[in-house]
Amino acid sequence: MTGLIDSHCHLDHFPDDAIPDLLDRARAAGVEGMVTIGTRLSRAAQQKDLTRFSRPDLRVWCTVGTHPDHVEECTVADAADIVALADDPRVIGIGESGLDYFHGAEAVRPLQQARFRAHIQAARRMNLPLVIHARDADDDVAAILRDEVAAGGPFRFLLHCFASGPELARVGLELGGYVSFSGILTFPRSDALRDVARTIPPDRLLVETDSPYLAPVPHRGRRNEPAFVADTAGRLAELRDIEPAALAEVTTANFHRLFSRAA
């Protein structure tokens, strides 16, 4: 039976000695792979090193990138530098990058936008998918995606931890992107998000935890971990009126289509 992929977690937020047990719990929950996502290019070596925890029954991959909350710390600025860091078989994607206007001061927005474009250019050059973070910045994320596709051609991307409105989902899908849902989908006040989740084409769906954040129901109040992707996947299957096993098969096939370097 096809297992689930946690397409977005942060293993670097867990102590190394806790990871083997974390992987055991994930495997017991039906997870067969996870991607530990980079949030600072200065820590790319650490992300790559975490892939050493990969094992035959549960694969660990990584991405490299700088989260918009950390752009002021980032000394690696241009696409060529990102390409150099991503030129490694352990790296299956670029990111996370994007725009976050919830945390960032308005004065930082131009820098976030510039770094976002650099990550897009690196993803295009490497033919790797870009993991996109969007928070309180839907219009500008959509505008940059449209602009970059028009100027440089299409590239692969994933709108991760999707919690935006239907318009960003529509634009992302129109441009060839994929959409990933996290534990937010299970929250009591997420009716609007559940409405969006019902509309995403089945060949563009992924699931994730964004652990250690955003633990899904029934784990609210606990530290999130990759095993809990099964709860989000179960809720998504319920919303779409399909069996959990079918949801796992679809989302895992989508993951491997998007993250084609994963093996």
Annotated binding site for a divalent metal cation: 8, 10, 96, 133, 160, 210
Return d(Cα 205, Cα 74) in angstroms, integer: 31
CB-based contact 143:135 (threshold 8 Å): no
Q: Closest Cα to residue 36, out of 13, 18, 3, 61?
A: 61
Q: In angstroms, rounded to a whole number, what is the distance separating the alpha carbons of residues 137 and 133?
A: 10
Question: Which residue type does 33 have?
Answer: G
SS3 199: helix
Could you tell me which residues are annotated as the binding site? 8, 10, 96, 133, 160, 210
**Hey, which residues does 130 pair with through a beta bridge?**
94, 157
Quote the CA–CA distance of 131 and 243 in Å, as a whole number: 27
Asked if residues 244 and 234 have their Cβ atoms less than 8 Å apart, the reply is yes
Question: What 3-state class would DSSP assign to 105?
Answer: coil
